[in-house]
């Protein structure tokens, strides 16, 4: 009888210890933050917390990324010049093509960039986060662009598409956005 109690105690102790050392969400988020920091360092990116003052029609330095206000570790880089008189606003419909890639040293690429990848671009409503790809990170980036623009974002899973939330994996996205007329 005493040996059964000892065995039961050992099994319970092992279960408790394995639960304590498990891969919790907070540990996954910490790994995600570390991966983003390592990517920024490896790529030699310059980050800042406010939009740069760049004359109309000029492009950003290729290594300049802005951490968008209110979004922890959501970094935005404007790849094409913006006409600041023609900005996208909430309620606008936009067509989006994208290229998605991992932040690993040997990045995997998932593309939706050309008609070879997908016949039609995604159509999103600015200000709405319903749908798989219509996420907070993309919305924040799109609102920082003009009618037609391209940007790159480093997007933690919490601001990314639904599929990224489940895996707690950050991705980089190249977005090409055109406002629908």
- Note the pLDDT of residue 12: 53
Note the residue count of the chain.
Answer: 181
Q: Read off the pLDDT of residues 105-151 as tens digits, 9 standing for 90 and up.
A: 887 777 776 667 677 888 889 888 777 677 899 999 998 887 788 99
Q: Answer whether residue 79 shows pLDDT above 80.
A: yes
Return d(Cα 148, Cα 87) in angstroms, integer.
9
SS (HEC) of the chain: CHHHHHHHHHHHHHHHHHHHCCCCHHHHHHHHHHHHHHHHHHHCCEEECCCCCCCCCCCCCCCEEEECCCCCCCEEEECCCCCCCCECCCCCEEEEEEEEEECCCCCCEEEECCCCCCCCCEEEECCCCCCCCCCHHHHHHHCCCECEEEEEEEECHHHCCHHHHHHCCCEEEEEEEEECC
Mean pLDDT, residues 13-23: 54
Instruction: Give the pair of three-digit tokens for residue 53.
Output: 């003052």
- Note the pLDDT of residue 174: 94
A 10 A CB-CB count for 64 gives: 17
Query: What domains, with CATH codes, occur in the chain?
Result: 25-179 (3.10.50.40)
153 neighbors 75 (Cβ within 8 angstroms): yes
Kind of pairing between the strands at 93-102 and 171-179:
antiparallel
Burial 14-27, CB ≥16 within 10 A → b, else e: eeeeeeeeeeeeee
Q: Answer whether residue 15 shows pLDDT above 50.
A: no
Return d(Cα 8, Cα 140) in angstroms, integer.
53
């Amino acid at each position: 009888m005493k040996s059964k109690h000892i065995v039961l105690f050992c099994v319970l102790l092992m279960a408790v210890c394995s639960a304590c050392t498990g891969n919790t969400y907070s540990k996954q988020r910490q790994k995600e933050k570390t991966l983003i920091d390592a990517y920024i360092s490896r790529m030699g990116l310059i980050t800042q917390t406010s939009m740069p003052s760049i004359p109309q029609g000029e492009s950003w330095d290729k290594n300049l990324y802005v951490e968008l206000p209110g979004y922890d570790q959501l970094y935005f880089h404007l790849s094409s010049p913006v006409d600041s008189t023609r900005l996208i606003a909430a309620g606008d419909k936009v067509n989006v093509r994208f290229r998605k890639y991992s932040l690993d040293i040997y990045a995997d690429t998932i593309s939706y960039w050309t008609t070879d990848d997908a016949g039609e671009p995604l159509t999103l409503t600015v200000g709405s986060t319903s749908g798989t790809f219509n996420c907070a990170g993309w919305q924040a980036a799109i609102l920082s662009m003009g009618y037609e623009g391209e940007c790159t974002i480093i997007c933690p899973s919490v601001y990314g598409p639904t599929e990224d939330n489940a895996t707690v994996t950050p991705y980089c996205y190249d977005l090409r956005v055109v406002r629908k007329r």
